[in-house]
């Protein structure tokens, strides 16, 4: 499957156990672009802290967010020869707070966010059912307390993850296409934005 270099980089965001890795992977496969899990970019110290049941703070997350931002800016791997346009990418990253997302977009301004929403009891049961993961379910409360939902002036959409994965992915693609459509409508024949800034698109869902 070839990558769609014309797509903006996508960050699938939300609290622990919302389904970022699962949905992100499936979404990337459907779009034919690379998938990267930001969990793999955490330092050993961050990982150890979370494993010990201690939530990360802003200082812990700052260098990690810069590493994630660098991935978004590169928009995924180049082709096999190492040249040509980079493919786009889907990154699973909690990106819980607005300043974190702004930090990511400082690296890669075209980034759009898909926030995964779920009822706390759904999250809790999924977190508890998951085995062999470094994130203890007890950290879910702090993740929910830290979450600053995607705001109306941030580029992206929200999808409910109560449905099976294939449905969640279809909803995400429809919402992303709607964002693309709105951006197209705002573009004049010379390719310059004549309407609202893409950055100011409403959050749907």
User: Applying CB under 6 A, which residues contact ligand 6PG?
Assistant: 16-17, 20-21, 39, 42, 56, 61, 94, 96, 135, 143
Q: How far is the CB of 87 from ligand 6PG (least distance, A)?
A: 23
Identify the residue among 126, 143, 150, 203 touching ligand ADP (CB under 6 A): 126
Identify the residue among 82, 132, 164, 189 touching ligand ADP (CB under 6 A): 164
Q: Is 120 in the site for ligand ADP (CB under 6 A)?
A: no
Buried b (16+ CB within 10 A) or exposed e, 80-108: eeeeeebbbbbbbbbbbeeebbebbbebb
Angle at CA of residue 142, ends 140 and 147, nearest 5°: 95
Residue 115 binds which entry of ligand 6PG, ligand ADP, none, CB below 5-8 Å type-dependent: none
Helix (H, G, I), strand (E, B) or coil at 29: helix
**CA proximity to 75, closest of 41, 111, 30:** 111
Q: How far is the CB of 4 from ligand 6PG (least distance, A)?
A: 25
Residue 61 binds which entry of ligand 6PG, ligand ADP, none, CB below 5-8 Å type-dependent: ligand 6PG
For residue 145, the Cα-to-chain-centroid distance in whole angstroms is: 19
Q: How far is the CB of 92 from ligand 6PG (least distance, A)?
A: 7
What is the rounded distance in angstroms from the CA atom of residue 112 to the CA atom of residue 78?
20
Q: Is 170 in the site for ligand ADP (CB under 6 A)?
A: no
Residue 56 binds which entry of ligand 6PG, ligand ADP, none, CB below 5-8 Å type-dependent: ligand 6PG
The answer to whether 3 and 10 have CB atoms below 8 angstroms apart is no
DSSP 116-169: EE--HHHHHHHHHH--S-SS-GGGHHHHHHH--PPPTTSSEEEEE-SS-HHHHH
Q: Kindly give, in sequence order, each residue whose CB lies less than 8 Å from that of residue 152, ignoring residues fewer than 6 positions away.
A: 202, 203
Q: How far is the CB of 24 from ligand 6PG (least distance, A)?
A: 10
Q: How far is the CB of 92 from ligand ADP (least distance, A)?
A: 6
Residues within window 20-49 making contact with ligand ADP, judged by CB under 6 A: 20-23
Binding site residues, ligand ADP, CB under 6 A: 14, 16-23, 92, 126, 129-130, 161, 164-165, 168
């Amino acid at each position: 499957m070839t990558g769609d270099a014309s797509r903006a980089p996508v960050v699938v965001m939300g609290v622990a156990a919302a389904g970022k890795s699962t949905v992100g992977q499936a979404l990337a496969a459907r779009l034919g672009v690379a998938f990267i899990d930001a969990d793999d970019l955490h330092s050993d110290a961050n990982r150890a802290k979370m494993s010990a049941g201690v939530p990360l703070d802003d200082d812990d997350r700052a260098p990690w967010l810069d590493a994630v931002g660098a991935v978004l800016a590169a928009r995924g791997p180049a082709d096999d020869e190492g040249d040509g346009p980079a493919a786009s990418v889907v990154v699973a990253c909690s990106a819980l707070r607005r300043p974190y997302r702004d930090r990511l977009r400082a690296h890669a301004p075209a980034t759009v966010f898909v926030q995964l929403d779920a009822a706390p009891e759904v999250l809790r049961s999924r977190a508890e059912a998951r085995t062999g993961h470094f994130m203890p379910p007890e950290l879910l409360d702090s993740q929910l307390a830290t979450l600053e939902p995607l705001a109306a002036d941030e580029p992206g959409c929200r999808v409910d993850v109560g449905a099976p994965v294939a449905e969640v992915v279809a909803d995400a693609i429809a919402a992303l296409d709607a964002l693309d459509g709105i951006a197209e409508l705002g573009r004049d024949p010379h390719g310059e934005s004549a309407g609202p800034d893409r950055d100011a698109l409403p959050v749907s869902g």
